[in-house]
Amino acid sequence: MDRLVNTVRPYAWGSTTAIPELLGTAPTGEPQAEMWMGAHPGAPSLTARGPLNELIEADPARELGPAAVEKFGPRLPFLLKVLAAGAPLSLQVHPDLAQARAGHAAEEAAGIPVDAPHRTYKDDNHKPELICALTPFEGFCGFRVPAEAADTLAALGVDSLKPYADLLHAHPEEDALREVLTALLTADPDEMAHTVTEAAAAAERLGGAFAPYAVLAHHFPGDPGVIAAMLLHHVRLQPGEALYLGAGVPHAYLSGLGVEIMANSDNVLRCGLTPKHVDVPELLRIVRFEPGDPGVLRPEASPSGEEVYETPIDEFRLSRLVRAEGAAPTDLTAATPQILLATAGRPKAGETTLSPGESVFVPAGEPVELSGAGTVFRATVVA
């Protein structure tokens, strides 16, 4: 197996302390937002044998196993991260596989540079993702029942929000949500900025369940995403709980430290809470305007003690092993590639001791046994 040296991305929304605390290192004073583990070309993990993406390109069958290569092609189909949100991330959705392929092909044909600010589809893959909380974790995910969102808007007592609240009582519910989000994103910017300022003041005054909207407005003054977030479920995860985010589900993270895994893609359509490009027509085509429960996941224990976070896709499978002192070793040998990440204790993968925040890549078929006390997240694929 290969011990990984991983890149930490310094995005502005990152916490200055959470990842250093996990790693046991001194904070630098700069934001540390995401630690990437995998073979993404933007920041591949390094090994003693070379960058992980180059190892896989040189011999995909050996590193990934024949079954994974046949199903997903000669690349590691997932990217594992430690994510540390110190400020809100953008409100966003991801396309499904067919939408990603069509959108990427259209932008390639149009000759839009992949690094252009208005480029939407950076690749031809979908980006389902799962976030598992390591600390209390807060965010927004999925549409609420429109009548509940209308009550939130009405409670703020802002006159310019009343038309949106009235629209939310229309039927069918999906049409009501679509009409309101469309109206928010296409409103006159100056008028919307004034509405958001009034709504933020009211939210700060009311506090309680309204406080998160004041936080959003503090970071993104005048942004229509502040009002759009009121259409969504406000979710608080406790350590060990997770959210699965499928195609078309609007979401935004607010704060907390978590383990995130996703299909290997950069395709993001932003709805707000961002200075970046918002492609409103394409966004409205991708969003799934379906109210429902956000679906907080709790791991399902297997006889071996491995706790699995069940999701409906095959590009990744995330599980957790919480090991007590003196527990019998667990055989994790698999015909698929794996990344093992320690988040507590000092467990051993084979002969390699892992401190919190350390990880290893295990090529397909390589024998590996987990021993010692601690918590390990196991990322692999279903092939």
Which residue numbers are catalytic? 270
**3-class secondary-structure state, position 257:** strand
Task: Give the number of other CB atoms < 10 A from CB of residue 330.
Answer: 17
Distance CA 376, CA 359 (A): 9
CB 287 within 8 A of CB 184: no
Alpha helices in 93-157 (DSSP H): 97-109, 146-155
Q: What are the contacts of 300-309 at 24+ separation with CB within 8 A?
A: 304/330, 305/330, 306/330, 306/378, 309/130, 309/132, 309/242, 309/244
- Cβ atoms within 10 Å, residue 182: 16
Longest dimension (CA), the chain: 65
Tokens representing 291 are 């109210």
Torsion, Cα of 256, 257, 263, 265 (10° steps): 70
**CB within 8 A of 171, min separation 6: which ones?**
none
Residue 14 DSSP code: B
